[in-house]
Structure 1
Amino acid sequence: MKGISYLTNDQGQRTAVVIDLQTYGEELEDFLDGLAAEERRDEPTEDFQTVVSRVLKSKSADE
Structure 2
Amino acid sequence: MLTVHPQYIKDADGNKSLVILPAIEFDKLMEELEDLEDVRLYDEAKGNDTGERIPMNEVFKSIESNRR
TM-score if structure 1 supplies the norm length? 0.46
Query: Radius of gyration: which is bigger?
Result: 2
Q: Which has the higher strand share?
A: 1
TM-score if structure 2 supplies the norm length? 0.44
